[in-house]
A and B are shown apart, each in its own frame.
Chain A
Amino acid sequence: MNAEPATRRWRDGQGEHIDVRGLPPPQPLVAILRLVHEQGLAGGAVIVHHDRDPALLYPELAERGWWAERVDCAPGEVRLRLSRST
């Protein structure tokens, strides 16, 4: 019952990555927003690796002055680049 996949995070030249694939809702939303909050303090982009369009995320991003754009990736994955609105 508790064998849920864990969130993975790493950093590269594109920004801070977070992989939330397989997590039940609303855990992807919470994990991404925690990272957005951290990055909001540090600055920089967040790359999200998801398994579906996170429709619930966008109003929350808008509330925080962030926005999302889709990035090319393998089939079956939804990859987003989140950054502060200018």
Chain B
Amino acid sequence: MALAATFLGNARSRLLPASIPFRFFGAAVAFHLLAWLALLAGAAAAPSFAGGLGLPLAALHLVTLGVLVMTAIGASLQLLPVATRQAVGSPRAMAALWWCYVPGVALLTTAMALAQPWLLAAGAAVVVLALIGYALLLARNLLAAKGMALVVVHGWAALASLGVLLVSGLSLAADYHGHGIIDRASALGLHVAFAGYGFMALLVLGFSYILIPMFALSESPAQRPAWASVAAAVSALVLAAMAAFGTQPAALWPAAIGLGLAALGVHVALMVRAQRSGMRPKLGRPFVLVRIGWAGLAASLMAALALALDARFARLASLFGVLLIGALLSLLLGMLSRIVPFLASMHAAGGKRGPPLPSALTAERPLAVHFGCHLTALALLLAAVAFDSAGLAQAAGAVGAAGALAFARFFMLACQRMQAVPALVPPPVATRRV
């Protein structure tokens, strides 16, 4: 047994230190709570929100930058070496990234909430600096990638999207001082399309080709349709960029959305098949959230199509935003509630009894509370937009905050249980002959 324990110690030493992914996940958990609280405080303006400084914009960016991008960074730092067989960077560089990004997001969202353009410019500059650092780590890793070309191509497409969203985001921030480098409407179109469907969705879709088969214990999805899916997604983004800059928007927006729907449809079909054919087809509540996320992404594209076709509904832009952000949030929280206990098990020492079981490191009750609150809050928010009701938005904020607290409890329990496992005393011999 001591031999096994030693070997597991060696395996762990090749993982990132637990503090790296867990600090990003921990920050995401905290920003998740703050996002719902910001919605609660800014509920009066939320249902008809269509841009502009204030609490709804702060709530939106607490979710996008604080939860979605934060989780994506933490997960990609841990998962990329698995896919590309290359280290992403030194733990010190990753810790520095966290120390730059987290205060940047805090400053930026505070400035948005207080409607302070100069503070906002400073916060945006820090966030952009941190994301450039992340982009460099990502690019260096992808350049040296060995194998898993499908995941690598998703990574490159996400990286290119990150570039577009940073430039468009900076332009939008500078526009509050009259110095936008891109026309505001174009910058907004680019920012939304490349943040939601470019950077975030492509990263999630790419990593899903590892994560879903890994959790379901199934064969890898068929390669040819998977390549067709990513090709359609990238083509959709190119068309969206052209449309955002005013090239035949009436034709190109619907075409981009149609390609996006096709890409998503193929991806979801592959993932569902992988899940059903695996040794562990039942993946529990977290994967209900993942499935809701997929459905929400499709619904957001339908709302985007209605926007492109000038459908008559006053709060369509708000509805689109809630569907897109709600979908991505459901997807990522579903994935995170599976990843955290699994990672905690890999990082926990385990002593002579081997690593602790992932099931012993999770906490079903807080996850169940979060599941109920999350879905209720999203439904309330959709109803708030549909009926232009500040009261429903307020209720969504309160229920969402309760769910975020439950998710924070789950995360803290996993961390505590991981640290509670007794540390190893390394025996002198690590291997044996058989």
Q: Which residue of A lies closest to B1 (CB)?
A: A67
Q: Taking the nearest CB of chain A, how far is it from the CB of B341, in angstroms?
A: 8
Q: Which residues of A contact B85 (CB under 8 A)?
A: 52
Known A-B contacts A1-B149, A37-B279, A67-B354; A25 and B11 likewise in contact (beta carbons under 8 Å): no
A30: interface (CB < 8 Å) = yes
Return B12 CB to nearest CB of chain A, in Å: 7
Least CB distance from A22 to B in Å reads 8
Residue of A nearest to B149 (CB): A1
Report A7-32 residues with CB < 8 Å from chain B CB: 14, 24-27, 29-30
Q: When A and B form their complex, what is the total count of cross-chain residue pairs whose Cβ atoms lie within 8 Å?
A: 102
Decide if B7 is an interface residue (CB 8 Å cutoff): yes
A62-B279 in contact given A27-B219, A29-B217 (Cβ < 8 Å): no
- CB proximity to A under 8 Å, residues B264-305: 278-279
B279 and A68 contact, CB distance less than 8 A: no
Given A70-B3, A71-B433, 17 more A-B residue pairs with CB atoms under 8 Å apart are A1-B224, A25-B83, A26-B220, A27-B220, A30-B213, A30-B278, A53-B14, A55-B346, A56-B82, A56-B214, A58-B11, A59-B345, A69-B3, A69-B4, A70-B6, A72-B431, A72-B434
Interchain residue pairs with CB less than 8 A apart (20): A1-B224, A24-B148, A25-B83, A30-B213, A30-B218, A53-B10, A56-B214, A59-B355, A59-B357, A67-B4, A68-B4, A70-B3, A70-B7, A70-B10, A71-B431, A71-B432, A71-B434, A72-B431, A72-B432, A72-B433
Let me know if B178 is at the binding interface, CB within 8 A.
Answer: no
Pick from A25, A71, A72: contact of B214, CB under 8 Å: A25
A13 to B118, CA, bound (A): 73
Chain B contact patch, size range: 35 or more
Q: What A residues does B219 contact at CB under 8 A? A: 27, 30
A63 CB contacts on chain B under 8 angstroms: 357-359
A69 vs B434: C-alpha distance when bound (angstroms): 10
The one of B7, B148, B433, B434 that contacts A25, using a Cβ cutoff of 8 Å: B148
* A26-B279 Cα distance, complex, nearest whole Å: 13
- Residues of the A chain whose Cβ atoms lie less than 8 Å from the Cβ of B220: 24, 26-27
Pick from B3, B14, B210, B430: contact of A55, CB below 8 A. B14
> Which residues of the other chain, B, contact A68 by a CB distance below 8 angstroms?
4, 7-8
Chain A contacts with B in 44-63, Cβ cutoff 8 A: 47, 52-56, 58-63
> Chain A residues with Cβ under 8 A from B430's Cβ?
70
Q: Which residues of B contact A29 (CB under 8 A)?
A: 214, 217
Which B residue's beta carbon lies closest to that of A86? B1
Shortest distance in angstroms between A32's beta carbon and chain B's nearest beta carbon? 10
Query: How does the 8 Å CB contact mask read for B190-219 relative to A, with 1 for contact and 0 for none?
Result: 000000000000000000001001100111
CB distance from B351 to the nearest CB of A (A): 12
- In the bound complex, CA of A5 to CA of B89 (Å): 29
A67 to B1, CA, bound (A): 8
